[in-house]
């Protein structure tokens, strides 16, 4: 897996509305090599880019995504909340996002972020979609907080790299989970995890890469770099790239 030092968060959401094609294009324009996005299912099982369970924060719609079909979702706009210049843009499908990234030669950290109760269903549909479109196994990481999703990824697409996302409070059995799910990376909150916790990951018999989210402070980026963290996820990836000691 060709993991870069810096990954754009939800595209480059410091400069454009998160999880939109505009945000992905902005990341490309900044020279970012990889982006992270969130994928969920509409009520009629269309994979789309969205972080929240509800539509309220990032669209002019209301209510749960899980109860909204794709046609209704597509009628909404997803840019005005961020700025007037983005008014009228739409929530993209996963297929549209993948096509754009392939066109720009970019890598992808795809977070499967299912609506509650749809973990297995979301993972299966998303993995089918990716397998149909994306064939570059060195430039993709399938990540999730949900163990069921990673279990599906392990069983359906074993040779695709997987990342275990850990919340601020690490579960006591995180190392056992990482081994059971046979992940490639452990993804941590880089603003709350300690040097000792990071060293715990590196001290394991298995060799995991460590990805830290969401890092927008250059000083914190350099501290994490000094701890050996392999990649940083940032809303402003260009700023972090400029401030790291070395970037590959």
Residues labelled as active-site residues: 9, 51
What is the rounded distance in angstroms from the CA atom of residue 7 to the CA atom of residue 27? Answer: 9
**Residues of 95-114 as b/e, b for ≥16 C-beta within 10 angstroms?**
ebbbebbeeeebbbbbbbbb
Sequence-separated (6 or more) residues with CB below 8 Å from residue 60: 76, 77, 78, 80, 81
Closest CA to 144 of 181, 107, 101: 181
**DSSP strands (E only) in 42-161:** 47-49, 107-112, 140-144
Sequence-separated (6 or more) residues with CB below 8 Å from residue 11: 18, 19, 20, 22, 23, 24, 26, 27, 35, 37
Contact assessment for residue 32 and residue 12, using Cβ atoms and an 8 Å cutoff: yes
């Amino acid at each position: 897996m060709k993991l870069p030092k810096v990954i754009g968060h939800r595209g480059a959401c410091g400069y454009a509305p998160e999880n939109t094609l505009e945000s992905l294009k902005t990341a490309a324009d900044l020279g970012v090599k990889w982006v992270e996005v969130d994928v969920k299912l509409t009520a009629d099982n269309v994979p789309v880019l969205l972080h929240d369970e509800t539509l309220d924060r990032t669209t002019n719609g209301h209510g749960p995504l899980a109860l909204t079909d794709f046609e209704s979702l597509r009628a909404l706009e997803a840019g005005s909340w961020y700025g007037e210049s983005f008014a009228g843009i739409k929530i993209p499908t996963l297929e549209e996002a993948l096509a754009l990234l392939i066109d720009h030669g970019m890598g992808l950290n795809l977070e499967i972020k299912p609506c509650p109760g749809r973990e297995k269903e979301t993972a299966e549909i998303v993995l089918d979609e990716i397998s149909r479109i994306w064939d570059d196994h060195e430039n993709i990481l399938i990540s999730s907080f949900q163990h069921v999703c990673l279990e599906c990824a392990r069983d359906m697409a074993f040779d695709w790299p997987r990342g275990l996302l850990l919340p601020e409070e690490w579960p006591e059995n995180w190392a056992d989970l990482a081994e059971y799910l046979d992940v490639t990376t452990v993804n941590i909150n880089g603003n709350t995890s300690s040097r000792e916790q990071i060293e715990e990951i590196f001290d394991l018999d298995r060799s995991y890469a460590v990805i830290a989210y969401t890092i927008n402070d250059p000083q914190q980026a350099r501290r994490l770099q000094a701890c050996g963290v392999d990649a940083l996820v940032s809303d402003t990836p260009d700023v972090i790239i400029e401030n790291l000691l070395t970037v590959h």
